[in-house]
Structures are given as structure tokens and as C-alpha cells.
Amino acid sequence: MSAGQAQPALVCRSLTKRFGDTVAVDDLSFDVRAGTVTAFVGANGAGKTTTMRMLVGLVAPTSGHASVLGRPYRALARPRDIVGAMLEGPGAHPAHRARTHLTITATAAGIPTARVAEVLELVGLADHAHRRVGTFSTGMRQRLALAAALLGDPAVLILDEPSNGLDPPGIAWMRNLLRSLAGEGRAVLVSSHLLPELAEVADRVVIMDRGRLVADAPLDELLAGRSRVAELRCADPAAVVEAISHTGLAAAQLEGDLVVIEGLSAQEAGELVSSVGAGPVHHLVERRGTFEDIYFDLAATGGGGA
């Protein structure tokens, strides 16, 4: 495995894909570098799968181009040795045993079949290698698809919602695996609409909304400058909002008596409630602006990132 440090491992330049009247991907440009996990985030229909399919030559762009280690995927001599992809779509034949499926896949790609046992071990399926794929749970199928992606020991991984169907320990396992794959110098592009799931592993975040890029930045940068938010319920929420309106801070009364105040700690918010006699307080928490807030803000404004 080797991944050039100088050039990005994956490059999308002005990628556009139209399906009839639908613009699935609209002038999208971003890079994925070796040794990093790039989270590829967006709501259902944002264009993530279509982009990934263009990256591996399964869908032809309407315009723009994509390249892997400097070349279009289709120009790679032994693509499976360079790119491991896990995409939506038909998986293994249900009557095949897991080991057989991987052996056939390896043989077709010219990969030594000794690698099959290694990848089964890597994805935690060694004990199920003899089972027919048709009897697998969703999570086991995901692991098998990941095993197939890892067969060629590729420098680049393109994983479309790999945590779908995994249970909480499976999701934690996936996170660790993504980290260690990037730690070995691989470029990992991983999509999800479950944002907190990727927030813990992502070095960089690319956010799409309705085909367009809305953010492309290191996670730290997206999270930096997010102010803290105090959230409370009390006897007289309107009095709290009124008091805040004179301070230059932003506050809003949400469903029922829930009040959200930007820029105050829990303690400060508690003190404010007592000072205006709006108590008692039933609920009081402080949180930082989260990955999820960023996503919704960006999606709502249709941009602002990059």
C-alpha cells in the first residue's frame, strides 16, 4: 500500500450528475487526503451515494471529473489494490458461504486467496466464514461488504454508510477500524447521515445538501467558535426571554416552556432565572454547539462553509 502525500488520494472537481430533471450532484469539488478520515455527510438524497459511485466509475458524471491517486478510477490497472469500495447495492449471492464469496471476489481481482482469512478476521467474521450469506444479519452483511473492500489492502477506502445496521458495539468497532485504517496512512471517505457517529472519528467533514457542497473543513474548525448554549425549563419562560432581550444575547422559547439561551453557562442561566423571579427551574443543562447544530445551520442557510 502506498498513498502519495503530495497529491490528494481522492479528488472531485466540479462533479455534476443529472438524472433527467434531478440534479443529484451539483458542481461538487473536494479532496480526500491520505491518512485521514473524511466524513461525507448529508440528508437522504443529498447526493452522497451518487458521488461515491462516480468516484469508482459506476456512474458517469454529466460534467466534471473524479480521480483516485491522480487517475480516473477506470484508468487504474488493478483498481481493487488501490480502492476498496463499499457501496449500496446487491451484495453477495445468498447461497454462497462468506468465505466462498470473498474467495471468488479475490480471484476475480487477482488477489491471493490467503488474504480472505485475514479480512474475515479483520471484520470479526472469522467464526461465521462457513455460513451462507443468506442467513446473515444486516450487520454481518455490512461486515462482509467491508471485508470485500479490504481484500486488496487498498490505499483508499470509499465506504457508503458502513455503520448501517450495526448495533452500538458494532458502531464503536467500526469507528475504531476507520481510525486505524487512516492511521495506517489510508485515505478514508465515509458517508453517513448519523452525524454524531462520525464526529468522533472524522478529521475533516464534507457536508452536502441537495447536491451541493455546503461545508468542507477540518472538524475542529467547524466546531470552533460554536458558543455554549444553556437550555432550561422554568415557571415563567417568557420572563427569561424578555430579560435576555435586553442583554444582546439570543434566546428562544421552543416547545412548551423550553428556553434556549446562546452564550450563557448553566450557572449564569440559573442566576438569571432567580434574578428575574422566573423560578423555580425544572431543568437546566449547558451544551456546546454540536456537530448536529452545525449541520442543520449549514443546511438551513444552504451554504457558508468551505
Binding site for ligand ATP (CB under 6 A): 19, 22, 24, 42, 44-50, 193
For residue 155, which of 54, 43, 34 has the smallest C-alpha distance? Answer: 34
87/162 Cα distance (integer angstroms):
8
Do residues 76 and 112 touch, judged by C-beta distance below 8 A? no
282/292 Cα distance (integer angstroms):
25
Nearer to Mg ion, 49 or 67 (CB): 49
Nearer to Mg ion, 88 or 297 (CB): 88
Shortest distance in whole angstroms from residue 190 CB to ligand ATP: 13
Region from 35-43, 44-52, 174-182, 289-297 binding Mg ion, contact rule CB under 5 A: 44-52
263/244 Cα distance (integer angstroms):
11
User: Closest-CB residue for Mg ion?
Assistant: 49
Q: Which does 176 bind (CB under 5 to 8 A by kind): ligand ATP, Mg ion, none?
A: none
Shortest distance in whole angstroms from residue 59 CB to ligand ATP: 8
φ, ψ (nearest 5 deg) of residue 79: -55, -35
- Secondary structure in 3-state letters for 129-173: CCCEHHHCCHHHHHHHHHHHHHCCCCCEEEEECCCCCCCHHHHHH
Shortest distance in whole angstroms from residue 210 CB to ligand ATP: 8
φ, ψ (nearest 5 deg) of residue 189: -110, 120
| Residue with grid cell 444582546, as numbered in its chain | 248
Do residues 200 and 168 touch, judged by C-beta distance below 8 A? no
Residues β-bridged to residue 233: 258, 283
Nearer to ligand ATP, 131 or 193 (CB): 193
- Secondary structure in 3-state letters for 80-101: HHHEEEECCCCCCCCCCEHHHH
Nearer to ligand ATP, 210 or 226 (CB): 210
Q: Is 49 in the site for Mg ion (CB under 5 A)?
A: yes
Shortest distance in whole angstroms from residue 290 CB to ligand ATP: 20
119/113 Cα distance (integer angstroms):
10
Shortest distance in whole angstroms from residue 62 CB to ligand ATP: 12
φ, ψ (nearest 5 deg) of residue 146: -70, -40
Q: Which three cell numbers stand for residue 83?
A: 480502492
Q: Which does 275 bind (CB under 5 to 8 A by kind): Mg ion, ligand ATP, none?
A: none
Nearer to ligand ATP, 42 or 154 (CB): 42
Q: Which does 163 bind (CB under 5 to 8 A by kind): ligand ATP, Mg ion, none?
A: none
Nearer to ligand ATP, 17 or 186 (CB): 17
Q: Which does 46 bind (CB under 5 to 8 A by kind): ligand ATP, Mg ion, none?
A: ligand ATP
Q: Which does 79 bind (CB under 5 to 8 A by kind): Mg ion, ligand ATP, none?
A: none
Region from 47-55, 66-74, 107-115, 295-303 binding Mg ion, contact rule CB under 5 A: 47-55
Q: Which does 24 bind (CB under 5 to 8 A by kind): ligand ATP, Mg ion, none?
A: ligand ATP
Contact positions toward Mg ion, by CB under 5 A? 48-49
